[in-house]
Structure 1
Amino acid sequence: MKNGDVSEGVAQPLEWKFSQVFGERTAGEEVQEVDIISAIEFDRTGDHLATGDRGGRVVLFERTDTPDHGGNRKNLEMMDYSISRHPEFRYKTEFQSHEPEFDYLKSLEIEEKINKIRWCQSANSALYLLSTNDKTIKLWKVREKKVKKVCDLNVYPDKAAGNGSVVGSSTSTAPKPYIANGGYSERPFGCSGKDFSFPPGGVSSLHLPVVVTSQETSLVAGCRRIYAHAHDYHINSISNNSDGETFISADDLRINLWNLEISNQSFNIVDVKPANMEDLTEVITSAEFHPTHCNMLAYSSSKGSIRLVDMRQSALCDTHSKLFEEQEAPGSRSFFTEIIASISDIKFAKDGKHILSRDYMTLKLWDITMDSGPVATFPVHEYLRPKLCDLYENDSIFDKFECCLSGDGLRVATGSYSNLFRVFGCSEGSTDATTLEASKNPMRRQTQTPRPARPLGSLSGVVRRVKGADNTGVDANGNAHDFSMKLLHLAWHPSENSIACAASNSLYMYYA
């Protein structure tokens, strides 16, 4: 880690513990492609968590260890971050966000896979979130709806069936239950046990069902807006603005600005497409709004640079206000240099003073007031550097790992292979560096032993053969690494030391 004053505090090493797992597969169970998680996002309060998968579904979880069981907590910013908590979540609901489509004009199949999920500001106890696949963004509203049911069959005793119609009756009194022999009848007329025959003499009164609203509720997800036909290339990012009214969407060459209320119009604010596509040298890989300044955003490129943009300068933000990139060491360039330099994800720190970026080999932390280079660099899996040729052969070198920061800005985290993720302390003088394996569940291991136990941080895993992959390689510690098991997606709770990460189709929760 390079020197640099990242935060006023010093991140002391934390003891991370397993908390929960959702959707864990049993030993030998084959994972369906559509069930693999492709997006994770906490909402602003941390009381709700959303995941998206390759089958186009969005699954919501809510926190249960708070007094109001996942409601909005007051004075969230005043909570003591140092207190060790054990956040617990439960399954809330799920819905089908996207379906597979086919673009007949381009003869292109559009997958239903969820690329990104972003929470919007909630209102009237309803939850709002944006989800996107390669081409279409949707705004969803999830709310609780009271269940209505038929509770009883009531009777108008003064209106016999043969004495005129009861349709035009102007009786102002409320319907009364049918009274038989001084008591209340709980069965419809003519029903005694299994006998459903009509009583002798016909029907003496009209029985009407009464629909009442019960105390039970059900969750209903409704699509409120569809933002489509604005991107020629695959959407890789969406990000909400701090003004609560607009958001951006980014593909390989353009960034568009949307208003949440207007779905048929967007404004192109960044366009890096050259007049001749043969002159194309880099593409946009990720974009995000500043957390507090509604006029600022940042986007990364495949050349390893980050551009900070101020929308007040011009309508088309092709000229950046600041450029962040690390200078290449003389004589270090190779065939793989530009490939591994490509930034797969960027995140602003909560205070907006720093940007975290993830390229293939490292995490980098940038101070937005210093464009000379990163203030901290964290090697994620340096032992893979001698195997870059093998990683290129099996396409693993193009994997896009995400990154995240803690709410207090003292730590950063990202994923690796064999379902590992790494947590680093990023304050000056910190030596905190922890490796965790998301596929290990201590609670499960006590009840069954599908495979032998391994020390935490081991890369051995369950090695599954992948066509074209070299699974026989080992790291510096002699542990085999499995490129078929990769932890690409993870998210840090906004106010507590809790991390949610996806390993294949399973969602793992850890806390410290």
Structure 2
Amino acid sequence: MAGNGDIQWCFSQVKGTLEDDVTDADIISCVEFNHDGDLLATGDKGGRVVIFQRDPISKNCIPRRGEYNVYSTFQSHEPEFDYLKSLEIEEKINKIRWLKRKNQAHFLLSTNDKTIKLWKVSERDKKVEGYNTKEENGQMRDPSCITALRVPVIKPMELMVEASPRRIFANAHTYHINSISVNSDQETYLSADDLRINLWHLEITDQSFNIVDIKPTNMEELTEVITAAEFHPLECNLFVYSSSKGTIRLCDMRAAALCDRHSKLFEEPEDPTNRSFFSEIISSISDVKISNSGRYMISRDYLSVKVWDLHMETKPIESYPVHEYLRSKLCSLYENDCIFDKFECCWSGNDTAIMTGSYNNFFRMFDRTNKRDVTLEAAREIAKPKTVLKPRKVCSGGKRKKDEISVDCLDFSKKILHTAWHPSENIIAVAATNNLFLFQDKF
């Protein structure tokens, strides 16, 4: 798929229980590979972060396999209560972002609606024995009983992975945080909520700079909200943010301290033939991602994925329908609130392919080189290693062919909102409710 003809994707692993009674806390709310793809983190609605580590044997064998084992699990956020506003603050993890590795330890940022935390994940495989002032069980010894000095020795022990919170960045957002993004300088990061974007230094927790503020003086005049924000992967002064009005703004922090005036505005004029009651809702952008090369970006709205050239604001250079067959179903999708689902999108490591999710546990891939696309399914029926995924087809009317599924039979409670692509290999992670599916190319 990823730019070299038609890759056949096959099942690698599934994480999580394949039971039908799923508790709300177990639903995966974000998925993120680290910069070399050796670690994969998921956050869930219960505030937990689970980190999977690439199996070294699967990485080095021929052909290579993408197999991951649980490396560390920790509770990142707890439910809180804001007594001033009488509001419950959910523990659900909205986003996870890895920092580039500088030493043996790994660092990641995780956020719920209000509070961002910086976690250090480190290994311990040695322990010190032979203390003078305390017993092996940790009890303090009576100083009068110590008659000789011992030289402590370092002994090997079973590997322990420890996650410890290093910094807590709180109280800077009035509204719910929807995005965090680490800058390419690896010293600062941004956090965005519905109306504001803040710039933080990773070492400073008690202050942040407000770099975008779209809050009107009179809230009745509010016409749009910020839906996603991301730093440019190479230029530390540039960032983009998308809005519920279907626009993306590129801002340059060198131009002004408050980036209320954007440098570029990316917006596609609406096709008048498609105008409907739902036009504004479905044009809202739920995710925006700049390509690894820094030249392009993708935006996901309810029905499509668009590719933009950062040098061209007038219209996208590519547009891919994700599930056009749902256009006739918008009324019922509005009634069951599905029309407000926020689908994410991601780039392949070499920017030649795009992946995003849909309903019925379907996810879509678009090959930008040969303009082909495929619909695949994350289903437990295929949960046998090396099972090749069969392309799925949805028919929206007329006669249904043998392999097709009717649009009326789609399960809208099974939705793939979160996906991630390994930075350098054809390994993908797809979150389906409480399960994490891993797929890889067949070769």
TM-score with structure 1 length normalisation?
Answer: 0.77
State the distance in 2 between where 1:24 and 1:432 align: 34
Question: What one-letter code is carried by the residue in structure 2 that aligns with 1:435?
Answer: T
Is 1:487 aligned with 2:422? no
Structure 1 unaligned segments of length 5 or more: list them: 1-8, 70-82, 152-164, 176-209, 447-453, 461-474
Shift of 1:59: 0.3
Equivalence for 2:399: none
Question: What one-letter code is carried by the residue in structure 1 that aligns with 2:230?
Answer: E
Is 1:310 aligned with 2:244? no
State the distance in 1 between where 2:435 and 2:324 align: 26
Question: What one-letter code is carried by the residue in structure 2 that aligns with 1:319?
Answer: R
Shift of 1:149: 8.0
* 1:142 aligns with one of 107, 117, 121: 121
**SS of 1:397 mapped into structure 2:** helix
Q: How does 1:130-279 map to 2 (within 5 A)?
A: 130-146=109-125, 148=127, 167=145, 169-170=147-148, 213-279=155-221
Retained in 2: the 8 A contact 1:247–1:258? Answer: yes
State the distance in 2 between where 1:334 and 1:68 align: 50
Is 1:93 aligned with 2:72? yes
State the distance in 2 between where 1:369 and 1:445 align: 43
Q: How does 1:19-30 map to 2 (within 5 A)?
A: 19-26=12-19, 29-30=20-21
State the distance in 1 between where 2:144 and 2:185 align: 57
Q: CA RMSD in A?
A: 2.7
Equivalence for 2:47: 56
Query: Is the alpha carbon distance of 1:68 and 1:150 closer, same or farther for their aligned partners in structure 2, counting shifts above 3 Å?
Result: farther
State the distance in 1 between where 2:191 and 2:36 align: 23
* 1:496 aligns with one of 402, 413, 425: 425
Q: How does 1:430-469 map to 2 (within 5 A)?
A: 430-444=370-384, 456-457=391-392
Shift of 1:439: 1.8
Equivalence for 2:223: 281
Retained in 2: the 8 A contact 1:292–1:352? Answer: yes
Runs of 4+ in 1 over 6 A off after TM superposition: none
Retained in 2: the 8 A contact 1:12–1:432? Answer: no
State the distance in 2 between where 1:168 and 1:503 align: 60
Shift of 1:382: 0.7
**SS of 1:263 mapped into structure 2:** coil
What whole-Å deviation, never above 9, does each CA across 1:368-397 have from its counterpart, x for those lacking one? 001110011110111110010000000000
Question: What one-letter code is carried by the residue in structure 1 that aligns with 2:182?
Answer: N
Retained in 2: the 8 A contact 1:383–1:476? Answer: no
State the distance in 2 between where 1:227 and 1:318 align: 23
Question: What one-letter code is carried by the residue in structure 2 that aligns with 1:483?
Answer: F
Shift of 1:84: 7.2
The higher radius of gyration belongs to 1
Retained in 2: the 8 A contact 1:238–1:287? Answer: yes
Retained in 2: the 8 A contact 1:117–1:129? Answer: yes
* 2:30 aligns with one of 14, 26, 39: 39
Retained in 2: the 8 A contact 1:410–1:425? Answer: yes
Question: What one-letter code is carried by the residue in structure 2 that aligns with 1:376?
Answer: E
Retained in 1: the 8 A contact 2:58–2:67? Answer: no
Is 1:12 aligned with 2:15? no
Q: How does 1:351-430 map to 2 (within 5 A)?
A: 351-427=293-369, 430=370
State the distance in 2 between where 1:285 and 1:105 align: 26
What whole-Å deviation, never above 9, does each CA across 1:148-203 have from its counterpart, x for those lacking one? 4879xxxxxxxxxxxxx973535x6x69xxxxxxxxxxxxxxxxxxxxxxxxxxxx
**SS of 2:228 mapped into structure 1:** strand
Retained in 1: the 8 A contact 2:13–2:385? Answer: no
State the distance in 2 between where 1:355 and 1:93 align: 32
Shift of 1:87: 1.6
State the distance in 2 between where 1:304 and 1:499 align: 28
Retained in 2: the 8 A contact 1:11–1:411? Answer: no
* 1:342 aligns with one of 277, 284, 288: 284
Identical amino acids, percent of aligned pairs: 57
Question: What one-letter code is carried by the residue in structure 1 that aligns with 2:9?
Answer: W
Is 1:329 aligned with 2:264? no
Query: Is the alpha carbon distance of 1:317 and 1:167 closer, same or farther for their aligned partners in structure 2, counting shifts above 3 Å?
Result: same
State the distance in 1 between where 2:394 and 2:406 align: 9
Equivalence for 2:439: 510
Shift of 1:88: 1.4
State the distance in 1 between where 2:294 and 2:64 align: 26
Question: What one-letter code is carried by the residue in structure 1 that aligns with 2:48?
Answer: R
State the distance in 1 between where 2:67 and 2:299 align: 29
Shift of 1:145: 1.8
TM-score with structure 2 length normalisation?
Answer: 0.89
Shift of 1:444: 4.7
